[in-house]
Structure 1
Amino acid sequence: MSVVADGDGPSAAPPGVTVVRTGASLKEGGPGENGMRRGAAPMVRGYLDSLRRLTLRAMRLPRHDVVVTMTDPPLMARVGPMLAAWHGAAAIHWCHDLYPALLPVLGLRIPDPLYRLVEWSVAGAMRRHDAVVAIGRCMARRLAALGVPSDRIVLLPNWAEPGIRPVAREGNGFRADLGLGDRFTVAYSGNLGLAHPMGGLLDAATELARTDPDIAFLVIGEGRGRPALEAAAAARGLSNLRVLPLQPAGRLSESLSAADLHLASMDPRAEGLLVPCKVAGALAAGRPCLFLGPAGSEAAALVDGCGRTLDPADGTGLAAVLRGYARDPARYAEEGRRALSVSARWDADTAAWRFAALAESLLGRAGKPVAAPLVRMSGRGLPHA
Structure 2
Amino acid sequence: MSKTKLDQVNKKRLLIYAHYYIPDTASTGQILRELAEGMLEQFDITVICVVPSYLGTVEEKYKTKMFYRENINGVDVLRIRVPEFSKTNTMSRVKNILTYFFGAMIATFKVGKQDYVFSISQPPILGGLLGVWGKWMKHAKFIYNIQDFNPEQVMAVNYSKNKLIIGTMMFLDKFSCRQSNLIITVGRDLVETVQKRFKGKKVPKTVMINNWIDEKEIYPVEQNHPKVVAFKEKYGLSNKFVVMYSGNIGLYYDLENLMKVIEKVKPGTKTADGREVVFAFVGAGSVLDNLVAYKEKKRMDNVIFIPYQDKADLIYSLNTGDVHWCVNAKGIKGVSCPSKYYGIAAAGKSVLAVLEKGSEIRCIVEETEAGLCAEPGDYESVEQNLKRFIENAGTGELIAMGQRSRKNLVQNLTRDVSVRKYMEEISNL
Letter in 1 for 2:416: D
1:161-200 CA deviation, whole Å, 9 max, x = no partner? 5501111223232234445344322101111011111145
Tell me if the contact between 1:199 and 1:312 (Cα under 8 Å) persists in the aligned partners. Answer: no
In the other structure, the counterpart of 1:347 is: 414
| Counterpart position of 2:342 | 280
Q: Deviations over 1:325-351 (max 9, x none)?
A: 233211101101101112212122222
Pick from 179, 185, 188: which aligns with 1:128?
Answer: 179
| Aligned counterparts of 1:138 and 1:145: Cα–Cα separation in 2 | 11
Task: Supply the AA of the counterpart residue of 1:337.
Answer: Q
Return 299-308 or 311-320, whichever deviates more.
Answer: 311-320
Task: Report the identity percentage.
Answer: 20
Output the TM-score relative to the length of structure 1.
Answer: 0.84
1:302 to 364, 374, 381: 364
Alignment pair present for 1:3 and 2:53: no
Structure 2 alignment gaps of length 5 or more? 1-44, 53-61, 63-67, 271-275
**Could you tell me which residue of structure 2 aligns to residue 73 of structure 1?**
123
**2:155, 2:204 → 1: CA distance?**
29
- Contact 1:253–1:285 at 8 Å: present in 2 too? yes
- 1:169 matched to which residue of 2? 223
Structure 2 equivalent of residue 311 of structure 1: 375
User: What amino acid is the match of 2:206?
Assistant: I
Take 1:158 and 1:57, find their aligned partners in 2: how far apart are those partners? 28
- Structure 2 residue corresponding to 1:326, chosen from 390, 413, 416: 390
* SS of the residue 1:204 aligns to: helix
Distance 2:74 2:235 in 1: 41
Which has the higher relative contact order, 1 or 2, with Cα contacts under 8 A spaced 6 or more apart? 1
Check the 8 A contact 1:325/1:331 in 2, yes or no: no
Give the superposition deviation at 1:52: 1.9
Q: 2:325 aligns with which of 243, 259, 263?
A: 263
User: Greater shift after overlay, 259-268 or 166-175?
Assistant: 166-175
8 Å contact from structure 2 (residues 244, 324) kept in 1: yes
Letter in 2 for 1:184: F
Q: Number of aligned pairs?
A: 354
Once the two structures are TM-superposed, the CA of residue 103 in structure 1 deviates from its matched residue by 2.6
Q: Which residue of 2 aligns with 1:373?
A: none
RMSD: 2.4
Structure 1 residues 12 and 82, CA gap change in structure 2 (3 angstroms) = closer
**3-state DSSP of counterpart to 1:103:** helix
Q: Deviations over 1:250-297 (max 9, x none)?
A: 221111111111002211122222111111111110001122121221
With 69-78 and 103-112 compared, the bigger mean Cα shift is at 103-112
More deviation, 46-55/134-143:
46-55
**TM-score after normalising by structure 2:** 0.76
Within 5 Å, give how 1:42-121 maps onto structure 2: 43-44=93-94, 46-74=96-124, 75-105=126-156, 108-109=159-160, 111-121=162-172
* CA-CA distance at 1:107 after TM superposition: 5.4
- SS for the counterpart of 1:55 is helix
Whether 2:209 is the aligned partner of 1:156: answer yes
C-alpha deviation, 1:314, in angstroms: 4.0
Matched, 1:212 2:269: yes
Query: Structure 2 counterpart of 1:195, which letter?
Result: Y
